[in-house]
């Protein structure tokens, strides 16, 4: 009785040709459509005609060839098909996905409700025969397991099934293949110890990864074993979401990567995660260039980092495979090139072979709706309230799209400096730096890593002593910035004073407005003039201290907290290529 809707090319639920399958795959992605998950994991559009063919063959198997000419049979088949389709359209008026088994269940019910018990009985028996046949074929694909375990697992739909030890062993042995000094049996034994009856199927995969990971410190090659086991989880997560396959082995990915790239680009654009420009590429040509064997290059830490931070996701489900990730970045970089496909493949080969790696913002954002590819932004904060908070807002917006920030705070007046607009005194730089620190924590880089900010201050600024203590773990926490970096912008004149054991004078920048923009001899000349003004009484707000004492404090804080970093103003400006 040939009535299974997915097993035979002539039966409902199976495409008659590869081109037909491709057309259905495209149709199945249209919004509001009913889709069918086949047993091989592929998703095709729902087709009434295939149900009609299956039901017709069920009647032919019971009543013989004469049924083909019977108008009664034709009318009955048409009515039953309409009932089955109406059931699913009523359940999912906005479209949805149905498994092939659900359709066959509804065919059984429709046959019985319409009094066709004999046809229904034969249909049920045939389904059982086909299920047994598939189970036998599946078990013969894998070698018999060497570890016998009587344990069930909980599937995604909540049903229980025996733990597939043959597949578990196959995955672990395949992950160990070609690597020296690794023991697959040891991983299998330890993995099974961590399982329990009724364990989730997802936890089975996680247990394999965790078990192999604990062995890395004993033998570094286990890092690659762990990465390969993690790849199995990533493949299943992405391929299922993209409706390409339920899961796939490493060997199968070379055939699936091209299809996965097309599905990924289409889905990413639909979900407004990727730029529509990517659809303008020749995706068949790019898909053919993907090399699934490069998935084997990853160490565990590298692949886990990509999974945690870099792969594009939808509702915490990763929809990006490693080679698709590299190709997406390459496509984003090549989008303005004349021969886009050739340049994208060239970029892809550099990235995926690890011969070159782009910076993090490029990996995050290339090919997306906001292709911000720059790593760092340097800004100078002006000496007014509007400008200060404008700079903090700029920090937030730039950090949102993964830019690292360097803020020059030297122009902002020091603690105790006069404010004409309020007839009051300034609180200095430090309270604003506390706001910058908290902004960096609040606005992380695209939800993938915390914000990165560094504040720069010249060594002659009157707030430099407090600036040196920003990262200390003691003192008033309101004047500490534990989450941002700091750097001391040191002129050569200060180092000369340290060597000669001379005094050093600190100023407020509103009294010395040109000093920050000068370097070399011009800086030294202006600095000496301002020092002369302090001695004549023309400048009232300043502080004089031994240069070597300040140097000792700078070294002490660098040793204690790692900050502020030492950056030398004159060498940077003398050798600047800009």
Domain locations in the chain as residue ranges? 18-139, 142-220, 239-373, 376-574
Helix H or strand E segment including 378: strand 376-380
Burial class (CB in 10 A: 0-12, 13-18, 19+), 59: buried
Helix H or strand E segment including 482: none
Looking from the CA of 509 toward its CB, the CA atoms found within 13 Å total 25
Question: What are the tokens at 419?
Answer: 């404010």
What's the pLDDT at 2? Answer: 45
Question: What are the tokens at 323?
Answer: 């080679």
CB atoms under 10 Å from CB of 282, counted, come to 11
CA torsion angle 121 124 129 130 (round to 10) = 140
Packed helices 222-241 and 250-270: angle between N→C axes, nearest 10 degrees: 50
Closest to 148 in 3D by CA, of 172, 177, 168, 175: 168
What's the pLDDT at 404? Answer: 85
pLDDT tens, N- to C-terminus, the chain (578 residues): 444 444 333 333 333 334 444 444 444 445 457 777 776 556 678 888 888 888 888 888 887 777 667 788 888 888 988 988 888 888 777 777 777 888 888 888 888 888 888 888 888 888 888 777 766 655 555 455 566 677 888 887 788 888 888 889 989 999 998 899 999 999 999 999 889 999 998 899 899 999 999 999 999 999 999 999 999 999 999 999 998 888 888 888 888 999 999 999 999 999 999 999 999 999 999 999 999 999 999 999 999 999 999 999 999 899 999 999 999 999 999 999 999 999 999 999 999 999 999 998 899 999 999 888 888 899 999 999 999 999 999 999 888 877 789 999 999 999 999 988 888 899 999 999 999 999 988 887 666 667 789 999 999 999 999 999 999 988 888 899 998 999 999 999 999 999 999 999 999 999 999 999 999 999 999 999 999 999 999 999 999 999 999 999 999 999 999 999 999 999 999 987 76
End-to-end Cα, the chain, rounded Å: 80
List, in order, residues 6 or more apart from 537 with CB less than 8 Å away: none
8 A C-beta contact, residue 519 and residue 466: no
What's the pLDDT at 125? Answer: 84
What's the pLDDT at 120? Answer: 83
**In whole angstroms, what is the distance from residue 46 CA to residue 95 CA?**
10
Phi and psi for 177 in degrees, rounded to 5?
-60, 130
Architecture of domain 376-574 in CATH?
Alpha-Beta Barrel (3.20)
The runs of H, that is alpha helices, within 537-578 are 547-561, 569-574
Q: How far is CA 479 from the centre of its chain?
A: 36
CA-based radius of gyration for the chain: 34
Question: What are the tokens at 305?
Answer: 């980092």
Q: What is the DSSP string of 50-98?
A: HHHHHHHHHHHHHH-GGGGG-HHHHHHHHHHHHHHHHHHHHH-TT-EEE
What's the pLDDT at 443? Answer: 85
8 A C-beta contact, residue 173 and residue 184: yes
**In whole angstroms, what is the distance from residue 3 CA to residue 5 CA?**
6
CA distances in angstroms from 273 to 25, 26, 134, 238, 264, listed in the order given: 21, 20, 39, 15, 10
């Amino acid at each position: 009785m040939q009535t299974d809707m997915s097993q035979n090319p002539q039966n409902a639920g199976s495409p008659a040709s590869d081109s037909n399958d491709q057309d259905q795959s495209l149709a199945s992605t249209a919004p509001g459509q009913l889709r069918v998950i086949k047993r091989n994991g592929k998703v095709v559009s729902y087709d009434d005609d295939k149900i009609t063919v299956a039901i017709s063959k069920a009647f032919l198997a019971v009543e013989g060839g004469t049924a083909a000419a019977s108008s009664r049979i034709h009318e009955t088949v048409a009515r039953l098909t309409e009932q089955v389709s109406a059931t699913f359209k009523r359940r999912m008026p906005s479209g949805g996905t149905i498994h092939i088994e659900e359709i066959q269940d509804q065919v059984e019910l429709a046959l019985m409700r319409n009094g066709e018990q004999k046809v229904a009985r034969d249909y049920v028996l045939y389904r059982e025969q086909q299920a047994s046949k598939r189970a036998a074929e599946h078990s013969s694909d894998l070698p018999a397991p060497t570890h016998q375990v009587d344990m069930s697992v909980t599937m995604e739909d909540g049903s229980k099934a025996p733990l597939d030890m043959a597949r578990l062993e196959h995955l672990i042995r395949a992950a160990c293949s070609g690597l020296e000094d690794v023991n697959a049996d040891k991983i299998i034994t330890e993995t099974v110890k961590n399982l329990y009856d009724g364990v989730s199927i997802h936890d089975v995969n996680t247990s394999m990864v965790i078990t192999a990971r604990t062995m890395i410190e004993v033998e570094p090659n286990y890092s690659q074993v762990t990465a390969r086991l993690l790849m199995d989880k990533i493949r299943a997560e992405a391929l299922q979401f993209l409706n390409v396959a339920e899961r796939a082995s490493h060997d199968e990915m070379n055939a699936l990567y091209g299809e996965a790239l097309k599905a990924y680009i289409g889905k990413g654009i639909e979900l407004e995660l990727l730029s529509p420009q990517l659809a303008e590429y020749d995706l068949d040509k790019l898909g053919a260039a993907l090399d699934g064997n490069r998935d084997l290059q990853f160490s565990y830490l590298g692949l886990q980092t990509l999974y945690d931070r870099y792969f594009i996701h939808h509702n915490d489900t990763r929809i990006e495979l490693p080679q698709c990730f590299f190709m997406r970045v390459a496509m984003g970089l090549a989008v303005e090139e004349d021969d886009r496909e050739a340049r994208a493949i060239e970029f892809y080969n550099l990235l995926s072979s690890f011969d070159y790696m782009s910076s993090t913002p490029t990996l995050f954002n290339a090919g997306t709706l906001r292709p911000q590819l720059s790593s760092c932004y340097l800004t100078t904060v002006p000496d007014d309230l509007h400008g200060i908070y404008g700079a903090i807002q700029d920090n937030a917006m730039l950090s949102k799209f993964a830019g690292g920030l360097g803020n020059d705070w030297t122009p902002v007046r020091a603690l105790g400096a006069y404010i004409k607009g309020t007839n009051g005194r300034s609180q200095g730089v430090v309270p604003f730096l506390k706001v910058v620190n908290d902004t960096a924590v609040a606005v992380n880089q695209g939800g993938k890593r915390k914000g990165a900010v560094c504040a720069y201050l010249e060594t002659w600024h009157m707030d430099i002593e407090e600036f040196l203590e920003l990262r200390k773990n003691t003192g008033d926490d309101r004047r500490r910035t534990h989450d941002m970096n700091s750097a001391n912008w040191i002129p050569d004149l200060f180092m000369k004073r340290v060597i000669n054991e001379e005094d050093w004078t600190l100023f407020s920048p509103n009294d010395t407005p040109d000093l920050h923009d000068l370097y070399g001899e011009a800086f030294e000349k202006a600095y000496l003039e301002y020092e002369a003004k302090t001695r004549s009484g023309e400048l009232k707000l300043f502080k004089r201290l031994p240069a070597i004492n300040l140097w000792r404090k700078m070294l002490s804080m660098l040793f204690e907290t790692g900050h502020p970093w030492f950056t030398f103003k004159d060498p940077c400006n003398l050798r600047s290529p800009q």
